[in-house]
Amino acid sequence: MHRSITLHGHRVGFHLAGSGPVVVLVHGMASSARAWRHVLPLLSARCTVIAPDLLGHGHTAKPAGDYSLGAHATLLRDLLAVLGHTSATVVGHSFGGGVAMQFAYQFPERCERLVLVGSGGLGPEVGAILRALALPGAHLVLPLFAPRWLADVRRATGRWCRWIGLRPTAAAEEIWRGYSALTDPATRAAFFQTLRAVVDNEGQRVNATDRLHLAAEVPTLVVWGARDAMIPVAHAHAAHAAIPGSRLEIFADVGHFPHCEAPARFARTLLDFVATTEPARVSQSDLGARLRAAF
């Protein structure tokens, strides 16, 4: 069920379904909570699932302001608090993986488990398209390639394809959905603020690999598509090696969207992970002790 609330004077849209252990699904850049639509009914059969639209995305407000990882993580914290939940398993895809890691770092007492899906923030390598969009002046050029009528074309094309019995692949559908979202000027402006907080022309600027050891006490699952062309699968192996006790699941014949391309397997993997691990109980003082031990 799609809902919305007002936080700090801004609308926040989110999907809420199910009952049981709380799982927060964090989408990627230029996406929205709709990206989880294939797995949400499967997960909500056994969990309370919260899938928010991040600031600047979907049905959430798109103000001029802070689009850093910390700001997005704080939005998650505040949404959980308003909904009456003290902690959750946090699942992040792509850019949302960076948000999930930031959430676990800023609010360790609120993160029961961490799930990274084709996650950003684990090394500089990233797709050439995002590097190009991070170039100076890209915000002036993109409107030429994303006119406002493109969204209408996408909807009309989708109806026509369904009428003749054709369906695009799940990955193509998500890419096209994200691209057409950028036809909206406010969404486009928020996209560039978000992008430039984490990516430049040389790749990802934010790298959490030097802090992954801090996740040792948090059950962590790393899920990746073997054919991910956006963020290399080598990042999955490196993260798994750096996080003691983590689990690694590589989906063969899957690209950057495991939750869309293989939703049944993704849901089974995530539900099994939640069912077979105990939620972390890490406090700010525990985090401080681990940081001091690293000196």
What positions carry a catalytic annotation? 94, 228, 256
* Backbone dihedral region for residue 165 (phi beyond 0: left; psi -120 to 50: alpha; all else: beta): left
Closest CA to 266 of 77, 43, 64, 51: 43
**Rounded CA gap, 133 and 254, in Å?**
25
Terminal CA-to-CA distance of the chain, rounded, Å? 47
Q: Give the H or E element holding residue 52.
A: strand 48-52
Residue 192 CB burial class (10 angstroms; 0-12, 13-18, ≥19):
middle
How far is it, in rounded angstroms, from Cα 119 to Cα 183? 25
CB atoms within 10 A of CB 248: 16
Alpha-carbon distances of 166 from 6, 241, 253, 255, rounded to whole Å? 39, 42, 21, 21
- Dihedral sign (CA 2, 113, 255, 166): negative
DSSP code, position 243? S
